[in-house]
A and B are shown apart, each in its own frame.
Chain A
Amino acid sequence: MSVSLEKYILAVITINRQRVGGGAPVFYADEEKELEQIAFTLEKILDGIAHEITPDTLIIVKHS
């Protein structure tokens, strides 16, 4: 924690299909509640922190 060697995006969760793409796994949600739910599950499983990029896109980032 005191030394951040690398941070990487483990997953992207979004409602807006047009705005994301690229290397990390992308999870699509239909509405905000589902977005929260997926992010919650992924945060606990992946042990990465959920960060809000825009209100309709969250990312799970591993800080180690």
Chain B
Amino acid sequence: MMGNYTVPVVMGVMFGVAARLYMLRTDYRQYPTYPHGRIIHIALGFIAALIGSVVIPSILKPDWTAVTFLGLAAQQFRDVRNMERNMLQQLDSMELVPRGVSYIEGIAQVFEGRNYLVMLTSLIVTLVAIRAPFWWAIVVGIAMFAVNRWLMSGKVLGQIADIKQGHIVLDGPNLYVDDIYIMNIGLQSDRDAIREHGIGVVVTPKNPNSLVTIANLGQRQAILHDVSSIHGVYRDSGEPALVPLIKRDMQNGRLGIFLLPEEKDRSKVLKTIERVPVLDSAIRLPREASVNQQTRGTR
């Protein structure tokens, strides 16, 4: 009986693991760490693929005990998020510019979510392989890659806000980016370093929803971390005054970003900020609230 399902299950597992590999890209964030971090995730992806691809055969058999156990096994993947969160939090204290808790939570969520997508891919590929000709499963498997890509893609900062270059202004001890106050710098030597290495950027929200989103402290920290990890940071321990910071203009929600990149290429820095992911936890949609819907109607 089980022999009938060998080919579909193998195909499901193969496509599931392939999907995990496809979604496991070590990019500028250098996460997951190469090579050992990747091995962990490929192994977990394999287990997820196996779970996903035996669901349909065990329902068709029908073996309800197996189905129940598969449900339990799938629950274990909730731990992936814990694992990622703990590890990243431990490492964060050693970063010159930390990721911040919101960014870490976002990454951890993504890792958990990807395993469920692997299960879904395997499940669908196996189902098609059982019910339809062999090559249909391959077509569906490839289509699932596109679906996964679509499901995993979030917004980037450039889509919700305008990013422009700002000017670093030092008025006595006070540091401004354009007209947004950043901080008070007491030492002349620090001011000189800031004049030489500092870059100012102003982020203007495109609508009332993005105004609240970019005000989120976690989102701001994510911007600082991304720029620092890609363009380096002119900073060291024991140099507390040289710290990249983002402050908000409370009048209109603009952000003044003060950066200290190692590589002072303004256009590259602006591009990097445009591509900073918008964190799930930072997204707010106040315009969708019923209160705001009503006022819009009466006006």
Q: How many Å from the CB of A40 to the closest CB on chain B?
A: 6
Q: Are A44 and B173 in contact (CB under 8 A)?
A: no
Binds A, one of B143-151, B181-189, B256-264: B181-189
Interface: B241 (CB within 8 A): yes
Asked whether any CB of chain A lies closer than 8 Å to the CB of B42, the reply is no
Q: Nearest Cβ distance between residue B220 and chain A, in whole angstroms?
A: 8
Partner of A52, one of B100, B184, B189, B221: B184
- In the complex, which residues of chain A have a beta carbon less than 8 angstroms from the beta carbon of B100? 2
Determine whether A15 belongs to the interface, using a CB cutoff of 8 Å to chain B.
no
What 1/0 mask marks residues of chain A from 30 to 64 whose CB sits below 8 Å from any chain B CB?
00000010011001100111111001001100010
The distance in angstroms between the C-alpha atoms of A35 and B21, with both chains bound, is: 58
A1 to B186, CA, bound (A): 19
Docked pose: A44 CA to B190 CA in angstroms: 11
Q: Is A3 an interface residue (CB 8 A)?
A: yes
Minimum C-beta distance from B26 to chain A (A): 26
Is the beta-carbon distance between A47 and B186 smaller than 8 angstroms? no
Is there an interface contact between B240 and A49, defined as CB atoms closer than 8 Å? yes
Q: Are B98 and A36 in contact (CB under 8 A)?
A: no
Interface residues in A, total, Cβ within 8 A: 18
Main DSSP-derived SS at the A contact region: mixed
Chain B residues within 8 Å of A51, by CB: 173, 184-186
Are B238 and A36 in touch, CB under 8 angstroms? Answer: no
Q: Are B240 and A63 within 8 A (Cβ)? A: yes
Contact B240–A3 (Cβ < 8 Å): no
Q: Is B267's beta carbon under 8 Å from chain A?
A: no
B240 contact from A39, A40, A43, A52, Cβ within 8 A: A43
**Which of B185, B187, B220 has the most chain A CB within a 10 Å cutoff?**
B187
**Are B221's CB and A1's CB within 8 A?**
yes
A36 to B186, CA, bound (A): 9
Smallest beta-carbon distance A45→chain B, Å: 8
Is B189 within 8 A of A2, CB to CB?
Answer: no
Q: Are B241 and A52 in contact (CB under 8 A)?
A: no
Closest CB-CB distance, B99 to chain A, in whole Å?
A: 10
Closest 8 A-B residue pairs measured CB to CB? Answer: A50-B186, A52-B173, A52-B186, A51-B184, A58-B186, A51-B186, A2-B221, A49-B241
**12 extra interchain contacts, Cβ-Cβ under 8 A, other than A44-B239, A47-B240, A49-B183?**
A2-B98, A2-B100, A2-B101, A36-B187, A47-B237, A47-B238, A49-B186, A50-B185, A50-B190, A51-B186, A58-B186, A59-B186
Listed by A's residue number, 21 A-B pairs whose Cβ atoms lie within 8 Å are: A1-B221, A1-B243, A3-B217, A36-B189, A39-B186, A39-B187, A40-B187, A43-B187, A44-B239, A47-B237, A47-B238, A49-B183, A49-B185, A49-B241, A49-B243, A50-B185, A51-B184, A52-B173, A52-B184, A55-B172, A58-B187
